[in-house]
Chains A and B, each alone.
Chain A
Amino acid sequence: QVQVVQSGAEVKKPGASVKVSCKASGYSFPSYYIHWVRQAPGQGPEWMGMIDPRVGSTSYAQRFQARVTMTGDTSTSTVYMELSSLRSEDTAMYYCARACVKGSSTSAVDYWGQGTLVTVSS
């Protein structure tokens, strides 16, 4: 069965970087885009970007373009999301999620990780 498992909670100081991992199993890892979505406390989800694990190509939301890097490792079926220059407003739950259509960059996402809470505090 499809599973998406993320790394554990992080506490970071302002200005630092955080790297969250997302390990997928139960399907052909290279064949499905992985998206990253964050959700600040009491707020709605915000799309951050996505990666095509097959070739490593990425697309980021404009507001994160300068600070986010998404990478993938097909040997371990894991994708990573690194966010730099953290500020208190980046405190949120960060989710990875798999696209529901093979090879599609336009489709919705169906399988979600459990979320990784990133807290930015001095």
Chain B
Amino acid sequence: QSALTQPRSVSGSPGQSVTISCTGTSNDVGKYNYVSWYQQHPGKAPKLMINDVNERPSGVPDRFSGSKSGNTASLTISGLQAEDEADYYCSSYAGTYSHVFGTGTKVTVL
């Protein structure tokens, strides 16, 4: 199972919007609506930000949103804030009781 493909980095100024893509295949992202997104600050465990493509867990700000089209899922951060600077990873159910993570994207707030 190959890792899902994400851009290495994206950046934006405070208040702007950034979008991170996550490209898989027709066997994972394209087949299942079980895409999730995690935020990870240095030295910390990942934190769930989006599950099931576009569902926000309780406590996650509504400036985080998810979507999917074909084999590519996306995470959009609207109204970028300084505390959003972190690494972001997508993940997908990949069938036959398996999961796969993305390669990761570093978000920089300029």
Give chain A's interface residues, CB within 8 Å of chain B: 35, 37, 44-47, 50, 59, 61-62, 95, 97, 100, 105-110, 112-115
Contact = CB atoms under 8 A, between A and B. Distances in A.
B107 to A, nearest CB: 14
B91 A115 contact: no
B30 interface: no
Contact of B93 (A106, A113, A115): A106
A39 B47 CA distance: 14
Interface of B: 1, 3, 32, 34, 36, 38, 45-48, 51-52, 57, 87, 89, 91, 93, 96-104
B48 A45 contact: no
Given A44-B103, A47-B101, 8 more contacts: A44-B101, A45-B38, A45-B46, A46-B3, A47-B91, A61-B1, A100-B57, A113-B45
Given A47-B98, A47-B99, A110 B57 contact: yes
Contact of B34 (A59, A61, A106, A112): A106
Contacts of B38: 45
B76 to A, nearest CB: 18
Which of A44, A59, A97 neighbours the largest number of chain B CB atoms within 10 Å of its CB?
A44
Nearest to B104: A44
Contact of B97 (A59, A97, A108): A59
B57 A35 contact: no
A61 B89 CA distance: 18
Contacts of A46: 3, 101
Contact of A47 (B32, B47, B100, B104): B100
